[in-house]
C-alpha cells in the first residue's frame, strides 16, 4: 500500500529516518513550515528556512524515492512577535507560488492571543489570494476552545471550509471538525496527542470521510513510522483495506491536490533513485560513499 504522511518535519530528521520511511512504503510527504524549538529573532532566519523547505530538503527526500511537498506560513507561537510577523508575512508571497508548495500552514493558535488571531486571519487571506488550501495547527492547551475559534476565523474570512485541514485532533475535537466541512488530521505520537489504538477506534466510530493521519515527527519525541504503524493497528482491528487506503493515501492526495501543485506523476516508477545525483554541489552522500 502506498503511504502519504501529510505532516512531518523532515528538517529535524536523519537519513536513517528517510531510509526506514521508504522501506515502510511512504512515498509522499508534506512538510509544514513550523517553529524550530529555538525562537527566531530575525526575518533572515525565515528566508533561509523557507528556501531549505523548497530546496535542500526536497532534494534529500528525493534521494530516498520520497516525493516532498511543503506548506509555507508563520506558526502561531512566533506570531506573538509583532515586528517579525509583519516581516515574515511580507516575505511569504515570494514563496507561495513555488513548485511543491501545496498549502499555507501550519497556522492557527498556540496561546490563543489576539496577535495570533491577526496573523492567522491574514494568512488565510493570503491563501485565498494565492488559491491555496490551509493547514491549521490546533493548540495543546485549551484545545477544544482553540478548535472552535479556528473554525470561527475561517468563517469570518469567508474561506471555503473544504480547503481547510484542521490538525492534531482528539476525541473531543473530531466531532466539532466533522460537523464543519473542514478535513480532520490526527497526529499519532508516542506519548501525547493520539495513539494508534485510539485512532483505530475513531475510524470505527466515524468512518474515513475527510479523515487523515500523520506522524508530525519533528525534533521532539516522535516517530516517523507512525502512519505505517497505525495502518497495522487498524488492520488488526479489522478496518478494511479500502478504508485504510482512503485515510493514508486518497484523502491527503485529494486535499492537497486542491492546490493544483501536487505533482505525483510517475510516483510508482521513481522509487529506484540515483543517489549520486547532486543538489547544487552537495550530496547527502559524503564523498567516500558514492559507490554504495
Query: Which spans of this chain sit near another protein (rule: CB under 8 A)?
Result: 37, 39, 41, 77, 80-81, 110-113, 140-145, 170-172, 194, 198, 220
Residue 37: which of Zn ion, another protein, none does it interact with, CB under 5 to 8 A by kind?
another protein
Q: Which is nearer to another protein, 94 or 205 (CB)?
A: 205
- Of 1, 69, 85, 83, nearest in space to 35 by CA: 85
Q: What angle do CA 193, 45, 26 make, to 5 degrees?
A: 45
Smallest distance, another protein to C-beta of residue 191, A: 10
- Minimum CB–partner distance for residue 111 and another protein (Å): 5
59 touching Zn ion, by CB under 5 A: no
The least distance separating another protein from the CB of residue 141, rounded to whole angstroms, comes to 4
| Ranges of H-type helices in 98-216 | 114-129, 143-157, 174-179, 196-206
User: Which of 172, 240, 227 is closest to 195 using CA atoms?
Assistant: 227
Task: Lay out the site mask for Zn ion across 166-205 (x = CB under 5 A, - = otherwise).
Answer: ----------------------------------------
Assign 49 to helix, strand or coil.
helix
Q: Which SS3 state, helix, strand or coil, does residue 62 take?
A: helix
Gap between the Cα atoms of 154 and 156, Å rounded: 6
Write the binding mask 8 to 47 for Zn ion: x where contact by CB under 5 A, - elsewhere. --------------------------x-------------
SS3 185: strand
All cell numbers assigned to 34: 513550523
Contact between 249 and Zn ion per CB under 5 A: no
| Least CB distance to another protein at residue 228 (A) | 22
- Please state the closest distance from residue 168 (CB atom) to Zn ion, in A: 8
Residue 198 contacts which entry, Zn ion, another protein, none (Cβ below 5-8 A, type-dependent): another protein
- The candidate with the shortest Cα–Cα distance to 35, out of 90, 116, 113, 96, is 116
End-to-end CA separation in angstroms for the chain: 27
Contact residues for Zn ion (CB under 5 A)?
A: 34, 216
Amino acid at each position: 500500500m502506498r503511504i502519504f504522511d501529510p505532516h512531518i518535519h523532515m528538517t529535524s530528521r536523519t537519513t536513517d529516518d528517510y531510509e526506514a520511511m521508504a522501506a515502510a512504503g511512504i512515498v509522499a510527504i508534506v512538510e509544514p513550515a513550523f517553529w524550530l524549538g529555538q525562537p527566531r529573532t530575525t526575518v533572515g532566519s525565515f528566508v533561509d528556512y523557507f528556501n531549505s523547505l523548497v530546496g535542500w530538503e526536497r532534494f534529500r527526500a528525493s534521494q530516498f524515492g520520497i516525493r516532498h511537498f511543503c506548506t509555507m506560513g508563520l506558526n502561531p507561537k512566533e506570531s506573538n512577535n509583532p515586528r517579525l510577523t509583519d516581516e515574515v508575512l511580507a516575505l511569504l508571497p515570494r514563496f507561495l507560488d513555488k513548485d511543491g508548495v501545496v498549502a499555507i500552514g501550519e497556522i492557527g493558535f498556540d496561546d490563543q492571543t489576539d496577535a495570533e488571531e491577526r496573523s492567522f486571519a491574514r494568512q488565510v487571506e493570503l491563501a485565498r489570494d494565492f488559491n491555496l488550501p490551509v493547514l491549521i495547527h490546533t493548540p495543546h492547551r485549551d484545545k477544544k476552545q482553540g478548535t472552535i475559534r479556528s473554525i470561527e476565523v475561517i468563517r469570518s474570512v469567508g474561506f471555503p471550509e473544504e480547503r481547510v485541514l484542521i490538525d492534531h485532533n482528539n476525541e473531543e475535537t473530531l466531532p466539532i471538525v466533522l460537523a464543519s466541512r473542514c478535513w480532520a488530521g490526527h497526529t499519532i505520537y508516542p506519548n501525547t496527542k493520539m495513539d494508534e489504538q485510539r485512532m483505530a477506534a475513531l475510524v470505527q466510530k466515524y468512518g474515513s470521510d475527510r479523515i487523515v493521519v500523520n506522524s508530525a515527527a519533528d525534533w521532539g519525541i516522535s516517530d516517523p513510522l507512525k502512519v505505517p504503524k497505525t495502518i497495522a493497528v487498524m488492520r488488526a482491528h479489522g478496518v478494511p483495506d479500502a478504508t485504510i487506503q482512503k485515510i493514508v493515501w486518497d484523502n491527503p492526495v485529494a486535499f492537497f491536490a486542491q492546490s493544483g501543485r501536487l505533482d505525483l506523476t510517475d510516483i510508482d516508477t521513481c522509487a529506484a533513485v540515483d543517489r549520486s545525483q547532486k543538489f547544487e554541489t552537495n550530496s547527502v552522500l559524503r564523498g567516500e560513499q558514492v559507490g554504495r
